[in-house]
Amino acid sequence: MELWLRIDNDPAGTEATTLYRWLARDRQLARHARLSPAAGAPIDGEMSGGSLETINVVLSNSIALASLITSIVAFRKAQKQQRGGPGDPIIVLLERPGRSIAIDDDSTAEGVVELLGAADPAPAVGVTSDGNAR
Residue 131: pLDDT band (50, 70, 90) is: very low
Which of 3, 19, 37 has the alpha carbon at shortest distance from 90? 19
- 126 vs 121 pLDDT, higher one: 121
Inform me whether the pLDDT recorded for 90 exceeds 60: yes
Angstrom distance (rounded) from CA 64 to CA 124: 14
What single-letter amino acid sits at 71? S
Q: How many CA atoms lie within 13 A of 116 on its CB side?
A: 28
Q: What tens digit of pLDDT does each residue of 40-80 get?
A: 554 445 545 557 889 999 999 888 888 999 899 899 888 88
